[in-house]
A and B are shown apart, each in its own frame.
Chain A
């Protein structure tokens, strides 16, 4: 009842601009202290009855509320609530399509095979209605990835409260994504036999050829510019990571060996089914795996019904760092279910704080942004939110406040506006 009242007030407040996107919040002007909440730090640790303070967009204090220390600025009492670093969605494509079935809105798959120069950032629609629907679930940052081809293009990390792609960018062009070919003919859905893919060696050769030539080009005088090769520079100087979308023991092994031989050392495996069987190699080379959403059905008819739910646990038991990617059916709108994918992995074996780390601290490490964001630690971005309860559980993921880089952001969206508009319609009758 009380909540409805608050919403009604909010509704009247917002009604003037009810058809525009949410206005991005202004930079943090005053310090904020959040007191009394259970703080999930995103690195596996948890502080009950915590005190978190941040100013100028950065976290200034993380500790116990029992500490006798002056509270800075506005104090938010969050007793009984939970505080988390903003969740980070990997291998996402938010803002690259608004309505899946409407071709005019689809901007995620460019023509071409080896197109590392294709950049997701500039097509990222910061004002997407789908993006703003992430925030009420605590999903505050994501990796925007182009799809298709062999080398799909260059990805960027964004935060979800921005005027345009420039201020959305958290780390520009942080990685290149590529699709590794399958070693076996995989048109099984047509009832085809699983035969060795005759083109596999050829496909590998063309990948080797591309990167070898790029490397040679980059070490040369570059008189006539080659845009695709230029785009791979970061892979060779270590400033960019290569995310390889690959499944199957054989393919993963080939991918790691070939790419390392080419002098590219920062590798991330995406999808990675079968990765548990080559875990030693991945651990030895410090290669993390971005697994798929847990809400999927098993690949094979005889698989355990919960095999997809257990994938995180299986890999983590082998010492592999794991995070969750969004690629799949209706992936853009489903990205807001990231907390529940992690929750399901937690239900099937992963410790709850480790499950939080999967989509916060470890996600940041995999993206290479952990020096300034991803966990609740002093000096890092104040990108965090307060939830009424356990944010990995649908029942209690109720976000009351969220901050990105210290800015208190709106939790309204196209959807909440419609909710209020029609709730109000029936109330007034």
Chain B
């Protein structure tokens, strides 16, 4: 049966419009009359084109006429809709309706590096060839929910993989076949950052890996289209075919929306992007994407803060989001952003209208709301026959008794492709109201409430409720009155004006009975009007939107720091009683008795001024650290995943850190590219990243890359020994050399991001910072580099650097090391805290780094340990966290010392900067004060107050019957370079 259906289905698709013949063997052929005319209705042809007392004529699923004066054809069924309103049915542009998500592919615990498939792209998570048409199975239950919520069309797809294939646009016509329902069998192409469940192929393990993969796919698709590829690839063929479809990217967080858009821009593709409802947190960045957005409206419930011990664990960000989420749509629309709404994020479709009503209460315009459900999604999809009631459009429309977004409005019918779906019978009389009648000397009040068939009544005598049983069915009311064991029955016909029928008393006697509605509605509505117009209080957004975020970003100031001890980290050494002037973001003057009009003066008496600390090896402020899916991942870059919302940025500022290198982790010999950033708390990712940033890449050696501590199942990836590590490097550099030669030859070549990156290294345009421990492999990598005529820039960790310090000095490589870490794994057995001093004494440029969000906020103390261990001078020790890492990062022309002309990145310390008793009082970047103890104190106070306000709001919600959820603690992942390909955000 199913097979037959499928066959018919496919046949029907090939001739979608022409199908007019089906053999009939059950009787004579009958033709249904599908001509219906609706009269006297308020008709929203579009959200902005409204016809009062208009008519709409439908024939064979299409609208054939609409307007104020319409000739109603003969033979039409006429429906009088006086007092009612017709809207176009809604469109859910982002759905997986009727397409089952595959179950997760299982296997043994060993990792899988190769693809399952042959003849397709090398990566299983790229599936543009997926066409969900053959898997589509009309889900009646879900369809009913959607139809009842007012939806007529859904744009559905297979929600699986990074490139997911095309979608299909289907109508929710319940009494039809798929042949008719499918409006467009290739409606859009879908993408995401998430891997397919159908394959266990490891790559990519991270967000940045997914981004790099997408770039390579686009390049490969062009290469394939030019006919140069040697093998057949059905994925790339499909991708090229789908090129002109709308590209819908399921991104998620506001950071990911921006990431997806940037990626698209690189290839001239403007994605339509699915957000997650927090766009208001970085609305300017969202606006700058110019993308059409698809927005879910899933508002969180208030947190149950009744237990103060637990309430303390809920972050300001989570509390604020409860308060702010309903304002997202208003903020988007106030900013002129074009967006459609979707139900995809909702557990139940039934909460869609409640949430939308809430958004409207928070100031979201109703016309915009209607647009976001009709004309906007239709426009995004390029469909002209849905989302409006123009002639020729699908007869997809709603009939209501008023404003569709009003809580009190009843949605009677949802017509889809001319098929009527009754949600609430509009022929049922509205009998709600108050009725009074007398019986046996008593005065009764009957109150009827509810909608449609669910109207119910309760009975009072002299203001007191008495027992009774009320039922209302097919316009007849049945009422049983319980008078202390004596039962009276009433049966009466009811309409909008009143009830009349018979009363049967307990003694068996019967009499005529009637009751009329007392007019109370008007006074009711008056009462409710006053609170309606005050939109709820929305807490202000900070950047980032955390308790410690900045409500206003710091401005560049002219700052004069007077009479302080200046650690120049230059040949001047330490200057006492000196003034330093910061102007236009630069260090403008160093001297005595400086004065500048209008400068903010900071008294530095008894304090110490230094350059901001530079951390050569950090993993804060990023959403991903490792791409561990391949042994070489030179194609990925941390710049793709910089996370400006990480609280550790602020904590590091409080420790005097101003610049960091966010390194890829050490999961593979050739890791990913770095991001070098300044800790400009509150700015977006782009603003954090250095302009004209020097290019770096992470390499790694030893136990991590040979997966020594990854568990017994991780034994199949090459390399598993230090011997293999050398060959990985040789192999990739050789390939990069050959690639470069081919490129220069002028012959066509397949552009490869990984090999492009490696070529940059050979050409000395990109520098290596290599995770390293034992001397043998350190020596090896220097030799490999020398054989390809370049130098390693930095060995990071480099715990046995002291054993080959002379060779390092000769090679010209720097060392960025821990002050005193050791004993945590076998290869650090010979790690000694004297390492920095020995390398320094041998002529190596040495930095002290953190690799840890805790240590990085007191790197000044870690520098001090080199004085204890190995007797470094204070000046040289201090350079190890300022000028030396700046040199290693090739940013010493901008930062790392206090020198006229360098960036005004400085820290004023309460004490000797390397004293354990010292605290950063001001941390300034480019003349902007990003941290100071006074503002920090104010922030603490503000957090206390805001928390109190939000807790009161939530308690109010709970005490007034609102739904609440258990408190949640904000999950913060702490990255070190050991962290596997995990993601936050």
A residues at B contact (CB < 8 Å): 3, 98-102, 129-130, 184, 188-195, 248-250, 274, 295-298, 300-302, 304-306, 330, 332-333, 336-337, 340, 343-344, 346-347, 392-398, 415-416, 418-419, 422-423, 426, 429
A300 touching B313, Cβ below 8 Å? yes
Total interface residues in chain B, CB < 8 Å? 71
A398 cross-chain contacts in B, Cβ below 8 A: 868
0/1 interface trace, chain B 815-844, chain A, CB 8 Å (1 if under): 000001111111001101110001001100
19 residue pairs of the A-B complex, CB under 8 angstroms, read: A100-B824, A188-B313, A188-B968, A192-B968, A250-B309, A301-B548, A302-B943, A305-B650, A305-B857, A305-B936, A337-B820, A344-B858, A347-B917, A347-B918, A394-B867, A395-B874, A395-B912, A415-B832, A419-B870
B546 touching A101, Cβ below 8 Å? no
**A194: min CB distance to chain B, Å:** 5
B654 touching A305, Cβ below 8 Å? yes
Interface residues in B300-314 by Cβ distance below 8 A to A read 309-310, 312-313
Contact of A295 among B803, B822, B855, B870 (CB under 8 A): B855
A193 touching B965, Cβ below 8 Å? yes
Interface residues in B529-582 by Cβ distance below 8 A to A read 546-548
Contact of A415 among B312, B709, B834 (CB under 8 A): B834
A101 touching B824, Cβ below 8 Å? yes
A302 touching B966, Cβ below 8 Å? no
B854 touching A194, Cβ below 8 Å? no
Contact of B310 among A99, A184, A306, A343 (CB under 8 A): A184
B966 touching A194, Cβ below 8 Å? yes
CA distance A14 to B802 in the complex (A): 20
A295 touching B825, Cβ below 8 Å? no
Whether B286 sits at the interface, judged by CB under 8 Å, is no
CA distance A423 to B834 in the complex (A): 10
**B701: min CB distance to chain A, Å:** 16
B805 cross-chain contacts in A, Cβ below 8 A: 422, 426
Closest to B801 in A: A422
Residue of B708, B868, B874, B971 with most chain A CB atoms under a 10 A cut-off:
B868
10 smallest A-B Cβ distances: which pairs? A302-B547, A101-B825, A193-B966, A188-B969, A394-B864, A419-B834, A343-B916, A333-B823, A415-B832, A347-B917
B832 touching A419, Cβ below 8 Å? yes
A347 cross-chain contacts in B, Cβ below 8 A: 916-919
A250 cross-chain contacts in B, Cβ below 8 A: 309
B917 touching A306, Cβ below 8 Å? no
CA distance A193 to B311 in the complex (A): 11
CA distance A418 to B803 in the complex (A): 9
A346 touching B917, Cβ below 8 Å? yes
CA distance A332 to B823 in the complex (A): 8
**A227: min CB distance to chain B, Å:** 33
A297 touching B648, Cβ below 8 Å? yes
Contact of A194 among B313, B648, B974 (CB under 8 A): B313
B870 cross-chain contacts in A, Cβ below 8 A: 419
A129 cross-chain contacts in B, Cβ below 8 A: 823
A295 touching B858, Cβ below 8 Å? yes
Given A305-B650, A330-B823, A337-B820: 16 more A-B contacts, CB < 8 Å: A99-B823, A101-B826, A193-B967, A194-B968, A301-B317, A305-B651, A333-B820, A340-B861, A344-B916, A393-B915, A393-B917, A394-B868, A395-B914, A415-B834, A419-B834, A422-B803
B802 cross-chain contacts in A, Cβ below 8 A: 418-419, 422
**A226: min CB distance to chain B, Å:** 38
Whether B664 sits at the interface, judged by CB under 8 Å, is no
B832 touching A188, Cβ below 8 Å? no
CA distance A394 to B912 in the complex (A): 12
A101 cross-chain contacts in B, Cβ below 8 A: 703, 708-709, 824-826
B947 cross-chain contacts in A, Cβ below 8 A: 302
Closest to A293 in B: B854
CA distance A429 to B838 in the complex (A): 14
A306 touching B654, Cβ below 8 Å? yes
A300 cross-chain contacts in B, Cβ below 8 A: 312-313, 315, 969-970
**A415: min CB distance to chain B, Å:** 4
B838 touching A422, Cβ below 8 Å? yes
B914 touching A394, Cβ below 8 Å? yes
Whether B221 sits at the interface, judged by CB under 8 Å, is no
Closest to B914 in A: A395
Q: Given A347-B917, A397-B868, A398-B868: A330 and B967 within 8 A (CB)?
A: no
B448 cross-chain contacts in A, Cβ below 8 A: none
Closest to B648 in A: A297
Whether B871 sits at the interface, judged by CB under 8 Å, is yes
B743 cross-chain contacts in A, Cβ below 8 A: none
B842 touching A426, Cβ below 8 Å? yes
Residue of A102, A305, A392 with most chain B CB atoms under a 10 A cut-off:
A305
CA distance A398 to B914 in the complex (A): 15
A195 touching B970, Cβ below 8 Å? no
A191 cross-chain contacts in B, Cβ below 8 A: 968, 971
Interface residues in B849-893 by Cβ distance below 8 A to A read 853-855, 857-858, 861, 864-865, 867-868, 870-871, 874
Whether B940 sits at the interface, judged by CB under 8 Å, is yes
**B922: min CB distance to chain A, Å:** 15
A393 cross-chain contacts in B, Cβ below 8 A: 864, 915-917
Whether B316 sits at the interface, judged by CB under 8 Å, is yes
CA distance A3 to B871 in the complex (A): 9
**B332: min CB distance to chain A, Å:** 26
B955 cross-chain contacts in A, Cβ below 8 A: none
Interface residues in B874-930 by Cβ distance below 8 A to A read 874, 912, 914-919
Contact of A426 among B841, B966, B969 (CB under 8 A): B841
A395 touching B917, Cβ below 8 Å? no
**A94: min CB distance to chain B, Å:** 11
CA distance A397 to B916 in the complex (A): 11
CA distance A291 to B417 in the complex (A): 70
A426 touching B826, Cβ below 8 Å? no
Whether B806 sits at the interface, judged by CB under 8 Å, is yes
Whether B972 sits at the interface, judged by CB under 8 Å, is yes
Whether B647 sits at the interface, judged by CB under 8 Å, is yes
CA distance A130 to B832 in the complex (A): 11
B833 cross-chain contacts in A, Cβ below 8 A: 415
A301 touching B546, Cβ below 8 Å? yes
0/1 interface trace, chain B 575-597, chain A, CB 8 Å (1 if under): 00000000000000000000000
A301 cross-chain contacts in B, Cβ below 8 A: 315-317, 546-548, 647, 970, 972
B966 cross-chain contacts in A, Cβ below 8 A: 193-195
CA distance A413 to B864 in the complex (A): 21
**A8: min CB distance to chain B, Å:** 14
Closest to A393 in B: B916
Contact of B861 among A332, A394, A426, A429 (CB under 8 A): A394
Closest to A183 in B: B309
**B645: min CB distance to chain A, Å:** 10
B309 touching A340, Cβ below 8 Å? no
**A374: min CB distance to chain B, Å:** 23
CA distance A419 to B548 in the complex (A): 44
Closest to B646 in A: A301
**A242: min CB distance to chain B, Å:** 24
